[in-house]
Structure 1
Amino acid sequence: MYSIAVDIGGTNIKAAVLNDELDIVKYVKIPTPDNKEVLIVEKVYRLIRDYIEQYALASPFIGISSAGVIDSERGEVVYTGPTIQNFDGTNFYQALSDLSNQIKIYNDVDAALLRELAFHQYEEENIFCLTLGTGIGGAFYNHKLGLYAGERHRANEIGYLLYRAEDDKTFEKRASTAALKELMQKWEFEFASNVPRLFELAETGDTLAQAILNEWATHVAEGIAQIQIMYDPGLILIGGGISAQGAALLKYIEPKVHDFLPPDYGVARLQTTQTENHAALFGVVSQR
């Protein structure tokens, strides 16, 4: 039996058909529409409808992950801030009701963390997942209580931390992968916004590449210190495409976290996620 998974991000929409073993049978990635001239919900509807017709599916399980604050019970986007315009109040359960009666929507970081936990065993009781991408997202999981969403489904919106009036920036604006790319352009890095190349050159001892990563990693570490203080997790997972850098990423961040904490405060174990590709897509169908 096939399931359909959709991951809605600020830059791209990914959609896939998966079998019971969670193998991807069909996959497509398209740019996220402006949500003005072309609505995201309409584009998602057409993608799912086409898959249903192509594979002759009858009321398949549809899992959706999306950026923003998500009310999974109502199937509604509660708040997205500047990430995606004109998206608040979009109800996917209503919009897709004629395609299936098995629909579930999650925040994208919640979905990615669910995928990680479904396929990898961690001993820690409390786990925080931090994703670095176009923006910054968070998810918190307790092994007894499950995902924690907060009173208004707005818990873990850590991208809004650390706002400073002097530069009008938040944690997200300083420490996301998008912010790293802006920094690379500011420093006139030879390979523009090629992040993998930045890490490659840093590993060879390139002083400019190392300076860029050190400046950016300081901002990442400051946010991680706030997570440590607020949640006291045993493990902090770092996800997003940049997590593929693994130890090369962590070595810039880990030593700096202590600079933003009181002496001997302690910090959780840091690790990059083991599920690098399509984590949110797998996560939304792993809960069917």
Structure 2
Amino acid sequence: MKDYIIGVDIGGTTVKLGLFKAQGELLDKWEIKTRKEHQGRYILKDIVETLENKLRENNILKENVLGVGIGIPGPVKDDGTVLKCVNLGWDIFNIVEEVNKLIKLPIKVGNDANVAALGEMWQGGGKGYKNIVMITLGTGVGGGIVIDGKIIPGSHGAGGEIGHIKVSKDEKEYCGCGRKGCLEQYASATGIVNLANKALNDINIKSKLREFECISAKDIFDSAKSGDELALILVNDFSVNLGKALANISCVIDPDVFVIGGGVSKSGNALIDNIANCFKESAFHASRDTKFELAKLGNDAGIYGAAKLICES
């Protein structure tokens, strides 16, 4: 009986892997280094090698494995064609075909943010819902869309690129994508730190933030919790920009729930409540009661979602 699924989450530093029962129970998880040299030519070979070793360790035959789901940090089409993946050194190629040259198992592939959203829907903050939008607030702003239990990658693999919704026409600085005024410039850890440094130069307000030699996003959110006036302004602006963007998304997607993850989400329910309140102020009346939840799977969301890709096959 095909009882097992393998979930793989390929990152720029490490590849995370998980061995699951088909019902969603995580049996084992481990990591290997992402070898990016020579245009990442060793990455897939290393993955297959560690998978085969793990199956042998657990006395699991390949015939009992439903398949391998893989999340990658870049756009990917439904047929498994990677549309370049700069962080791994990959150009355009079909990852399913390449993995099948190494191991004869069913393979499904998705963008890592979309796959993480699927994982949170399956066993995390979105469990019990079929229509979710996940937002990851970290160095950048990522996202994933799941409708009726299925990832929505879009025609070009760009579905869920929430961080690059334009929220300002007056921005002078460039986003990493090459445009100006993206949500990522205002609602990411990097963005709020940049805004804090500008504010410290432009706004004459006494603030604890002036005591830090090198401000972090955590410093800003912690200072806001303690009532620091400038930090409160920055966190409010952060929440307003994100709330407005999610209100616009709700007019198109109308999810059951927004699941908020990433490093910034560690600020907890107070931040989520603030974002939800800002969302309500901008949302279409039918969507104002959309739920907000914290992500629960942390760094394991990718392997859960990759495994779930196989369940949906």
TM-score by length of 1: 0.78
Which deviates more from structure 2 when the two are superposed, residues 172-181 or residues 120-129? 120-129
2:244 maps to 1:206: no
CA RMSD of aligned residues (A): 3.4
Give SS of 2:166's match. coil
Structure 2: 5+ residue runs without aligned partners? 173-179, 201-208
- Matched-pair contact (CA < 8 Å) for 1:52–1:58: no
- Matched-pair contact (CA < 8 Å) for 1:250–1:270: yes
- Matched-pair contact (CA < 8 Å) for 2:77–2:155: no
From 245, 259, 266, the counterpart of 2:267: 245
2:75 maps to 1:63: no
Match of 2:10 in 1: 8
From 118, 121, 132, the counterpart of 1:114: 118
- Matched-pair contact (CA < 8 Å) for 2:123–2:304: no
Q: CA deviation at 1:203?
A: 1.9
- Matched-pair contact (CA < 8 Å) for 2:111–2:157: no
Over the matched positions of the two proteins, sequence identity in percent amounts to 24
Q: CA deviation at 1:279?
A: 0.5
- Matched-pair contact (CA < 8 Å) for 1:70–1:77: yes
Give SS of 2:159's match. coil
Paired residue total: 279
Q: Distance in 2 between matches of 1:244 and 1:140?
A: 21
Give SS of 1:236's match. strand
- Matched-pair contact (CA < 8 Å) for 1:6–1:13: no
From 90, 96, 99, the counterpart of 1:96: 99
From 209, 220, 238, the counterpart of 1:216: 238
2:154 maps to 1:150: yes
Cα deviations across residues 138-185 of structure 1 (Å, max 9, x unaligned)?
Answer: 333333x73333344433332221164742232223323332343455
Q: CA deviation at 1:65?
A: 0.8
Match of 2:253 in 1: 231
2:194 maps to 1:172: no
Which deviates more from structure 2 when the two are superposed, residues 180-189 or residues 149-158? 180-189
Match of 1:134 in 2: 139
Matched AA of 1:139: G
C-alpha change, 1:282 and 1:261, in structure 2 (3 Å) is: closer
From 154, 158, 163, the counterpart of 1:159: 163
Alignment of 1:32-111 (within 5 A): 37-40=37-40, 42-53=42-53, 55-56=55-56, 59=62, 61-72=67-78, 74-78=79-83, 84=87, 87-97=90-100, 98-111=102-115
Q: Distance in 1 between matches of 2:50 and 2:127?
A: 38
**Which protein is richer in helix relative to its size?**
2
- Matched-pair contact (CA < 8 Å) for 2:145–2:152: yes
Match of 2:176 in 1: none
Compare CA radii of gyration and give the structure with the larger one.
2
Q: Distance in 1 between matches of 2:187 and 2:143?
A: 13
- Matched-pair contact (CA < 8 Å) for 1:49–1:99: no
Q: Distance in 1 between matches of 2:18 and 2:97?
A: 21
- Matched-pair contact (CA < 8 Å) for 1:199–1:248: no
- Matched-pair contact (CA < 8 Å) for 1:22–1:282: no
Give SS of 2:92's match. coil
Cα deviations across residues 97-132 of structure 1 (Å, max 9, x unaligned)?
Answer: 213423221122222222222225756563222222
Q: CA deviation at 1:227?
A: 0.7
Alignment of 1:250-265 (within 5 A): 250-261=272-283, 264=285
Give SS of 2:76's match. strand
Structure 1: 5+ residue runs without aligned partners? none
